[in-house]
Amino acid sequence: MHFFVLGNLAHRYWGVVLRLFASKWLFPLVAIIAFFTCADIFKWHTLRFEWTNIPKTLAMYSTMTIVVMFFHHYKDHFTRETRMGRGLQYIGVRTLDIYLLHFILMPKLPMVGPWLNEYHPNFIVDVVCAMSVALVVIAFCCLVSNVLRISPLFKEYLFGRK
């Protein structure tokens, strides 16, 4: 819900967002906020419950702002003329399919939780595991989406396409 609201606000006030992106102070400020709220050095989880939401929310919004700024800054690399751009646009067109199908295709991996807890401080392992599972799930969702789109009945009633 947070990212949906952020996207709607950014779309509504896109001119203001572009002026903010062009400023020299926004990225360093957001990067510092993201670093301090995502770093585990302050032990945010030991605070009282109502105070733990502040760093978590700041971490969510600051990292999402960095991602949006990255894609906006390198927007020429994500056009249909580049392989990466075609891939991301293909996935972007099927975002709703992926969102709905990943609940069915998301594997249950009960051994991953204890393993990640044992190696928690290793950020690289966390990122590699998360990206690997995400890419496999996205690939299967796109495959299932394409198979379902073969049927005219499913294509019309599941995806709204004629």
pLDDT 10s digits, 37-68: 877 656 666 666 666 677 778 888 898 899 88
Task: Give the range among 5-19, 28-42, 78-92, 106-120 with minimum mean pLDDT.
Answer: 106-120
Query: What's the pLDDT at 154?
Result: 79
Alpha helix segments (H runs only) across the chain:
2-12, 14-22, 26-38, 49-73, 83-93, 95-105, 112-118, 123-148, 152-157
Q: Could you tell me the pTM of the whole model?
A: 0.65
Q: Which of 44, 72, 82 is nearest to 60 (CA)?
A: 44
Query: How far is Cα 62 from Cα 79, in angstroms, rounded to an integer?
Result: 25
Contacts 24+ apart (CB under 8 A), 157-160: 159/97
pLDDT tens track for 3-12: 778 888 888 9
Show me where the domains of the chain are located. Answer: 1-73, 79-162
